[in-house]
Amino acid sequence: MSTTPDQSARAVVDLDAIRDNVRALRAAAPTAQVMAVVKADAYGHGLAPAARAALAGGATWLGAAHGTEALAIRAAVGPAPRVLSWLYAPGAPFAELVRQDVDIAVAAPWALDEVADGARAAGRTARVHLKVDTGLGRNGVTPEDLPAVLDRAAALQADGALTVIGLMSHFALADEPDDPSVKMQTHAFEDAIRTVEAAGMPLEVRHIANSAATLTNPAAHYDLVRPGIAVYGLSPVPHLGAPGDYGLRPAMTLEARLATVKRVPAGRGVSYGHFYTTTQDTVLGVIPLGYGDGIPRHASGGSLGPGGPVLVGGGVGDVAAPDAGLGTARVLRIAGRVCMDQVMLDLGPYAPEQAGDVVTLFGASDGLARAGAPNAEDWAQAAGTISYEIVTRLGARVPRVYAGTAGKETA
């Protein structure tokens, strides 16, 4: 770990992994184009470099929830790829989105006229994707409202304000490909396609597949797939397969330097509430990361739960048994309560670690069960959440350092 003197932790993002993950997703959906979803600062990996790496892997579309994200993407990657934005409230910067050639999803009747007003202000025709709610119960036009929306869209299209080029939806249980709701939503999406085309609006792209559907449901690929978490090398279906089973590798490694290493006696309480107590004379280590950096408090250890796993004494892939002897790599669990700025480890009575030594919280691994080294999914299990949250919540206080060549700007 090479850091500046004041850098106690960092997230290393492998841009080549992002590129190669997109290539794997293209192979999984060979009949469709790939939209790499880079919302939420590319799931915490860094929007601009991740977007460029995804394009290097063959993505032809980029997707973001908010309009500000879409505009940032356009500024970062230029005019070539198509960019889609799908979540906003009234008063969003529609004119600027249209001016910057961003496709806009329309998920409610009111949005049609606001998008059209923005298009007129921009002096351009807006490219619109209608979003239908096929059963998720979230954002989207209901099937009952779709005919009226199409009537209004047809009028605005005839006026030159917009053109409907896409239809989209989102699964509720794509990570359970055999669930009856998946088939139900697919049928509802097919009905919506027929309704739109019967209204005289031929569709350029139809899309409903997220990461899980891209990897497990070929019938849902249509013209375009929208993978998110899989772009960053994490499995959207961890109960079905690890990243490597789908040709993916995690792009982010979170590592830190130990801030304090000290010997304490048996019976010493550790961290707030003393939910962990040492059972022998031992060595404690302090990692300068906490919930202020995005480490989930629910990953606390001791009597609070299993605790988030940390690789000590070696890099990812250089792991011995947890009870290994002096000087070997081992996986330990957070001892006690996660604090705002720090977490603790019981390094063991013969620990050779010193302040400044590097530990890895998660990295490019198929996980503890497969590789003996922790990945973001292991942290998700310890915290009772999903890997998406583990990487996305990592705070700005943790610098991102980029490895690899894909996605880096060239002079």
Dihedral Cα 13, 19, 25, 26, nearest 10 deg: 170
* Ramachandran area for residue 51 (φ above 0: left; ψ -120 to 50: alpha; else beta): alpha
Gap between the Cα atoms of 84 and 81, Å rounded? 10
Q: Which of 281, 305, 300 is nearest to 342 (CA)?
A: 300
How crowded is the C-beta side of 197, counted as CA atoms within 13 Å?
A: 11
| Contact by Cβ (8 Å): 392, 38 | no
Of the candidates 43, 131, 262, 272, the residue annotated as catalytic is 272
Whether 39 is catalytic is yes
Which letter does DSSP use for residue 313 in this model?
S
Letter for the amino acid at 138?
Answer: R
Give the sign of the dihedral formed by CA 213, CA 216, CA 218, CA 224: positive
Distance CA(269)–CA(336), nearest Å, equals 9
How far apart are the C-alpha atoms of 71 and 95, rounded to whole Å? 11
272 is catalytic: yes
- Which residues lie below 8 Å from residue 267, measured CB to CB, with a gap of 6+? 277, 278
| Identity at 255, one-letter amino acid code | E
**∠ Cα 259 396 376 (to 5°):** 75
The answer to the question of whether 201 is labelled as a binding residue is no
H/E segment holding residue 10: strand 9-14
Q: Is residue 138 marked as binding?
A: yes
* Residues facing residue 286 across a β-bridge: 260, 344
Contact between 57 and 16 under an 8 Å Cβ cutoff? The reply is no
Q: Which two tokens stand for residue 314?
A: 């070696």
Burial class of residue 28 (count of CB atoms within 10 Å of its CB; 0-12, 13-18, 19+): buried
User: Which one is catalytic: 39, 43, 131, 402?
Assistant: 39
- How far is the C-alpha of 1 from the C-alpha of 358, rounded, in Å? 7
Neighbouring C-beta atoms of residue 393, cutoff 10 Å = 16
Annotated binding site for substrate: 138, 340
Catalytic residues, by residue number, are 39, 272
Annotated binding site: 138, 340
